[in-house]
Every structure is written in structure tokens, then in C-alpha cells.
């Protein structure tokens, strides 16, 4: 059996590698019992995210990347079964948390950005009211005026130029990119330490996509947040993240520094990279990925 390339050798090149990780996932499993047996969506995924680090979680549909993000946020409900050797956020055990404690944590310290802003915003409420409400839900002691000031700051931080107009707008009046910026503003207004973004840009146009990522990039740097970016888009993650974990069938195939993705060693990663069409590449047939059944039994992370 081929051994996966050692992932630990390529940990974050950033400065804070000595500090304890913000998020530590060790051998996470997510099982869904169904009529025909247990579906093992995530099998022994291990991953760390440090402050100021942008970690990518890439994989094709059904690879378990979304379920991984959701288990960190405590969003998986029974019948889904989440277990792990260790699942901690800033030293705090996440597995033992009650629903209520999880919700508190989600509001203030961990935030999630979803794929399509159109489904995340309430269509019958003005944008400003929603941002203010989100802030006050997490910090009830804040006055309405203070919350509004915080909302303005957050909207300015995501480079929305006409903050007043956006505050008064209805969600349907926003473009996709603006909607996603509002969502990001809503999340960072609470000053989270960890941001989990699940395909935050796949519903957006390519140029808008880059703008939204640039904003995320800037925020992560300025606030030394940890970012877990879940995506199917390898080239995008390669350019954006510090480290990338490649998932296949619920397992981590390898974890590499994003800059080294082009030189990835695992045949799955290499297969994915090779299958990408390119503007200047050869115009013959694209290499088709041959899935090796052995991949299903390997992996497991560091």
C-alpha cells in the first residue's frame, strides 16, 4: 500500500506556528445511519487552523468537506453522529458543549459564511436591520445605537462604499457580490476568532469572486482570525490559502502548503490538478482521474 506523503512536514510557514492552534481537529468522524447501513461521511479527518492562518479544505462533492465544517460549528443534528479523538477551539472542547453553549460560541467567536447570500438574508427585512439584529443577538447588552455604529464599521470594513444606501436596502436590491459582502460584514461585526466559509464565492462571478476573497484576505490579516475555506476550486484555494487539506471520500488524502499544490505528491491531488482545463495548455484530451480503491483505506491525517 502506498503511504500518503507525510503531511506534518508542510505545516504553516507563518510566524505563529509555536502557539497552540486555534482549531484542532483530530480524527473526526461523522456517520449518518440510514436504512441501508451507516454512511461514513467523514472518516478520521485531522486538521489544525492557527490564528491568522488560511486553511483550505478542498474536495469534490460528497468528499465530506461541508460536514467537517458543520461539525466544528455544532450544526449537525441527530441522526448524524459526530465523534473525534479531539475537537477543540482555542483549547475548549467542542464535543462536550451543549446546544446552548455552542450557539453562544457560534455567535461571538466562530462564524460561518455560506455559499449563496440570497438564501442567508431575510428577504422581508432591510439589510441594516438584519445586521443590527445579528449583532444584538450575540451581544444583547449593546444599545441599538452602538449596534448600528458597529454595523456601519463592519460594512465599511468589507469595502462597501455607500454604507447608508446598503443599510437601507432590501436584500433583493443587492447584487450577489454585495450580498456576500454584507454576510461577511455581519459575521465579522462580532469579532470572531475563527471564520468558516463554505464555498463563499462559488455563486459569484469570477471578478466578484476575487473581490470578496480580497476582503476576506484583508480581514484575516488585520484581525488575525483563523479561516477555514471549504471549496471545490483548487486553483482558487491554491492562490488564496496558506495550507490545503485535500479530501476524498471523507478522508484527508494529503495536507500541503498551498504554494506546493502544483507539486503535490498524492495521485488524487495530482489527478485533480491535471484534470483542470487551462487557457494555454495542450488542447488534447484532459487526463481523466482514475480513482484508486486503495485511497479509501489510507489517509487519516497526521
Partner 1 sequence: MITVRDLTVTFRAGNRLVPALRGVSLDVASGEVFGLVGESGSGKSTVLRVLAGLTRDWSGTLAIAGEPLGRRRTRAFHARVQMVFQDPYGSLHPRHTVDRALSEPLRIHRRAADRDARVLRALDDVGLDRSFRFRYPHQLSGGQRQRVAIARALILEPAVLLLDEPTSALDVSVQAEILNLLRRLRSERDLTMILVSHDLTVVGHMADRLAVMRHGQVVEEMPVDRLARGEPAHPYTRQLLRAAQGYDPATAEALLAEP
Interface contacts to partner 1, rule CB under 8 A: 60-61, 159, 176, 205-211, 213-215, 217, 232, 234-240, 271-272, 275-281, 283, 285-289
Q: Between residues 33 and 281, which has the closer beta carbon with respect to partner 1?
A: 281
| Closest separation in Å from C-beta 110 to partner 1 | 23
Q: Between residues 74 and 179, which has the closer beta carbon with respect to partner 1?
A: 179
- Omega prior to 81 cis, within 30 of 0: no
Whether residue 193 contacts residue 226, with contact meaning beta carbons closer than 8 Å, is answered with yes
Separation between Cα atoms, residue 105 and residue 181, nearest integer Å: 22
For β-strands 243-248 and 251-257, DSSP reports them as: antiparallel
Q: Between residues 38 and 214, which has the closer beta carbon with respect to partner 1?
A: 214
Whether residue 65 contacts residue 238, with contact meaning beta carbons closer than 8 Å, is answered with no
| Closest separation in Å from C-beta 283 to partner 1 | 6
| Closest separation in Å from C-beta 177 to partner 1 | 10
Residue by residue, DSSP assigns 79-97 as TSEEE-SEEEETTEESTT-
Residue whose grid cell is 484555494: 237
Q: Between residues 74 and 177, which has the closer beta carbon with respect to partner 1?
A: 177
Instruction: Indicate left, alpha or beta for 190 from its phi (over 0: left) and psi (-120 to 50: alpha).
Output: alpha
C-alpha cell at 52: 491568522
| Closest separation in Å from C-beta 208 to partner 1 | 8
Residues 6+ apart with CB under 8 A from 175: 208
Q: Between residues 145 and 161, which has the closer beta carbon with respect to partner 1?
A: 161
| Closest separation in Å from C-beta 86 to partner 1 | 31
For β-strands 23-34 and 86-89, DSSP reports them as: antiparallel
| Closest separation in Å from C-beta 85 to partner 1 | 30
Residues 6+ apart with CB under 8 A from 30: 40, 41, 42, 64, 67, 68, 71, 76, 80, 81, 82, 250
Q: Between residues 87 and 212, which has the closer beta carbon with respect to partner 1?
A: 212
Q: Between residues 143 and 207, which has the closer beta carbon with respect to partner 1?
A: 207
Q: Between residues 89 and 240, which has the closer beta carbon with respect to partner 1?
A: 240
| Closest separation in Å from C-beta 271 to partner 1 | 7
| Closest separation in Å from C-beta 212 to partner 1 | 9
Separation between Cα atoms, residue 250 and residue 40, nearest integer Å: 7
Q: Nearest CA to 298 among 250, 247, 267, 253? A: 253
Angle in degrees, 0-180, between the axes of helices 206-223 and 176-188, rounded to the nearest 10: 10
Amino acid at each position: 500500500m502506498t503511504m500518503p506523503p507525510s503531511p506534518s512536514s508542510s505545516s504553516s510557514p507563518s510566524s505563529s506556528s509555536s502557539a497552540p492552534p486555534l482549531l484542532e481537529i483530530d480524527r473526526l468522524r461523522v456517520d449518518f445511519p440510514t436504512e441501508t447501513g451507516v454512511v461514513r461521511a467523514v472518516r478520521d479527518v485531522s486538521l489544525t487552523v492557527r490564528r491568522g492562518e488560511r486553511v483550505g479544505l478542498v474536495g469534490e462533492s460528497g468528499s465530506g468537506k461541508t460536514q467537517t465544517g458543520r461539525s466544528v460549528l455544532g450544526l449537525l443534528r441527530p441522526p448524524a453522529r459526530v465523534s473525534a479523538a479531539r475537537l477543540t477551539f482555542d483549547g475548549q472542547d467542542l464535543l462536550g458543549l451543549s446546544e446552548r453553549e455552542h450557539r453562544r460560541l457560534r455567535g461571538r467567536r466562530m462564524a460561518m459564511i455560506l455559499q449563496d447570500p440570497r438564501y442567508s438574508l431575510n428577504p422581508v427585512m432591510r439589510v441594516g436591520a438584519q445586521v443590527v439584529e445579528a449583532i444584538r443577538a450575540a451581544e444583547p447588552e449593546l444599545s441599538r445605537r452602538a449596534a448600528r455604529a458597529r454595523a456601519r464599521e463592519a460594512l465599511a470594513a468589507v469595502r462597501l462604499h455607500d454604507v447608508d444606501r446598503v443599510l437601507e436596502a432590501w436584500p433583493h436590491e443587492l447584487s450577489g457580490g454585495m450580498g456576500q459582502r454584507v454576510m461577511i460584514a455581519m459575521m465579522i461585526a462580532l469579532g470572531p476568532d475563527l471564520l468558516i466559509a463554505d464555498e463563499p464565492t462559488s455563486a459569484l462571478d469570477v471578478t466578484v469572486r476575487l473581490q470578496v476573497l480580497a476582503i476576506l484576505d484583508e480581514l484575516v490579516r488585520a484581525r488575525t482570525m483563523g479561516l477555514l475555506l471549504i471549496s471545490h476550486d483548487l486553483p482558487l484555494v491554491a492562490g488564496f490559502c496558506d495550507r490545503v487539506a485535500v479530501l476524498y471520500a471523507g478522508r484527508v488524502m494529503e495536507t500541503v502548503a498551498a504554494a506546493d499544490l502544483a507539486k503535490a505528491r498524492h495521485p488524487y491531488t495530482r489527478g485533480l490538478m491535471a484534470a483542470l482545463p487551462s487557457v494555454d495548455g495542450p488542447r488534447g484530451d484532459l487526463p481523466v482521474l482514475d480513482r484508486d480503491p486503495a485511497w479509501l483505506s489510507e489517509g487519516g491525517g497526521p
